[in-house]
Structure 1
């Protein structure tokens, strides 16, 4: 079975791999299913998406992995797949953060600057086609298996329209069963199903 490389959510907030993936039990449940799991931390106050990609590139092993991006981590996950196709054999975009939505972007921009990001950095991080920081034309050229996992129910930060846009944009992509995103209080009943879904996707790439 392929190694799974988990990229947590968050953007300029106190979020890390421990809180997003380990505390909700996702890592342990995947490992119990025989999956090798890598759970790096993203930079907490990045100046750009390129900075995030450079940091996570250092954690990628030499053997190809299945990358699972979560929420805003979908941007980093997709960029890793685009820039290092020899190291990424499958991609899951889970609970993709909605980009290019004026109301959501205004609220997120205010949150970023309130946490210390400059307006310039906030503008750069929020610049979007479908995913923040990723060009649609690059997503459309992905030549690996891609799956999209929606937030169910949808919410302003993780809208259904983003899932539909990605499925229409990325050739051969398919939808996985959705659930609430961790670490929200609505997630725990979905832990086992999510782990099973991710393990099955990884198994198909090995």
Structure 2
């Protein structure tokens, strides 16, 4: 039985959805072409906090463990999901993790509830909580990094999460230039899931 992939899209306080983040850039369909079952739900709109996002995502979990692939701010929702339901998450891939605690970046997110901006390495999660993740965790950096997805976040995750592995980086969808990296990203995702 093939592993189910739960794709958790990025975005925070904007109009991002699973279609724009995973489907149109070719990630969801690319995994399906490889024979991989994919769930790509939209995250909770106007969530008051990260536990609410995790509760929303939990409703999409199938009856067997999944590989969660989260992008950007979706990494916070995915980690909260993994902390709440560790037995349901086989592996967790944090792709292009959004940087927390950068006042300049946070200032660009006017209108986003403060509860969604709080955190240490990742928004909505303490570093102590990150250190308790027991499933295999991979981290995929944004290349090149940018103010929203800084290299320091990847380095901190590699240091904090036991056994965390770095995968080859690429630009995040739906950024221009991402299209030439889809095949490499698909290989990274399936390789991580199968190891």
Give the TM-score normalised by structure 2.
0.97
Q: What does 1:145-164 align with in structure 2 at a 5 Å threshold?
A: 145-164=136-155
* Equivalent of 1:139 in 101, 106, 130: 130
- What is the RMSD computed on CA atoms of the aligned residues? 1.0
Inter-partner Cα distance in structure 2 for 1:178 and 1:167: 14
Inter-partner Cα distance in structure 1 for 2:47 and 2:114: 12
Inter-partner Cα distance in structure 2 for 1:145 and 1:29: 23
Inter-partner Cα distance in structure 2 for 1:42 and 1:150: 22
**Residue of structure 2 in register with 1:23 after alignment:** 24
Q: Do the aligned residues in 2 keep the contact of 1:13 with 1:44 (CA within 8 Å)?
A: no
Inter-partner Cα distance in structure 1 for 2:35 and 2:114: 41
3-state SS of 1:86 partner = helix
Give the TM-score normalised by structure 1.
0.92
**Residue of structure 2 in register with 1:183 after alignment:** 174
Inter-partner Cα distance in structure 1 for 2:187 and 2:118: 34
**Residue of structure 2 in register with 1:127 after alignment:** 118
Structure with higher RCO (Cα < 8 A, 6+ apart): 1
Is there any run of 5+ residues in structure 2 with no aligned partner, and where?
A: none
**Residue of structure 1 in register with 2:160 after alignment:** 169
Inter-partner Cα distance in structure 2 for 1:160 and 1:39: 26
**Residue of structure 2 in register with 1:73 after alignment:** 74
**Residue of structure 2 in register with 1:14 after alignment:** 15
Inter-partner Cα distance in structure 1 for 2:21 and 2:140: 16
Q: Do the aligned residues in 2 keep the contact of 1:42 with 1:55 (CA within 8 Å)?
A: yes
Inter-partner Cα distance in structure 1 for 2:129 and 2:44: 23
**Residue of structure 2 in register with 1:194 after alignment:** 185
Q: Do the aligned residues in 1 keep the contact of 2:55 with 2:81 (CA within 8 Å)?
A: no
Aligned pair count reads: 194
Q: CA deviation at 1:44?
A: 2.1
Inter-partner Cα distance in structure 1 for 2:8 and 2:34: 19
